[in-house]
Chains A and B, each alone.
Chain A
Amino acid sequence: AQTVTQSQPEMSVQEAETVTLSCTYDTSENNYYLFWYKQPPSRQMILVIRQEAYKQQNATENRFSVNFQKAAKSFSLKISDSQLGDTAMYFCAFLRVDSKLVFGAGTILRVKS
């Protein structure tokens, strides 16, 4: 069974600085997709970034980028130039081949001014 582990329950960062959130996963599949979702206090789950496992190039979306290490089954999220609006719960998720998402337990990120 696929599992997703986020080992950092909480993190904080100063505004404008860079922070990295960790995620590891376990799967026997070779082709799969990984996601980072953000859930602010408003509770809407918002897609941050997506990575296809067959692509070696790390995905980037503006201030958000990932470090995808397939052999190590690691998928970390880097947020550059952190903003107050980045304060949220961040979930790492694995998309199974049957289209079901498996989520980690989440990391609470607090951006401080």
Chain B
Amino acid sequence: ETGVTQSPTHLIKTRGQQVTLRCSSQSGHNTVSWYQQALGQGPQFIFQYYREEENGRGNFPPRFSGLQFPNYSSELNVNALELDDSALYLCASSLDLAGGPGTDTQYFGPGTRLTVL
């Protein structure tokens, strides 16, 4: 059983650029959640994908967007990068059972460190 993987490990971009981060979910999991973790803070929920559909979104602007693919892997895209987007981006996967009210444990990947200059 493979765990959650993310790529790349580190990324440096300049303000105004666009970035794509990738996540492969743990084997058997159908739900992917993305979190942003600023330095010294707890992670903040960005959005979640369940069976290729967005399943909830946190307080992030539309320039944060995502995709989930048929194999349940996922991408996070950020357009028009700002300095405040510098953070650790965490992906978590879980097995969300239809009708189950938030019973799924989320397992995290190692994260992508994004630096915006």
Contact = CB atoms under 8 A, between A and B. Distances in A.
B42 A103 contact: yes
Contacts of A31: 101
Chain A interface size, under 10 / 10 to 19 / 20 to 34 / 35 or more: 20 to 34
A34 to B, nearest CB: 11
B94 interface: yes
Contacts of B109: 44
Nearest to A95: B102
Interface string B38-67: 001111110010000001101000000000
B58 A47 contact: no
B108 interface: yes
Nearest to A92: B42
Contacts of B104: 95, 99
A32 B42 contact: no
B2 interface: no
B57 to A, nearest CB: 9
A44 B19 CA distance: 21
A100 B41 contact: no
A44 B108 contact: yes
Contacts of B48: 99-100
Contact of B90 (A45, A99, A102, A104): A45
B4 to A, nearest CB: 9
A104 B111 contact: no
A100 B101 contact: no
B42 A47 contact: no
Contacts of A101: 33, 35, 43, 45, 92, 106
A32 B108 CA distance: 20
A39 B107 CA distance: 12
A89 to B, nearest CB: 9
A64 interface: no
Nearest to A52: B103
Interface of A: 4, 31-33, 35, 37, 42-47, 50, 91, 93, 95-106
Interface of B: 31, 33, 35, 40-45, 48, 55-56, 58, 88, 90, 92, 94, 96, 101-111, 113
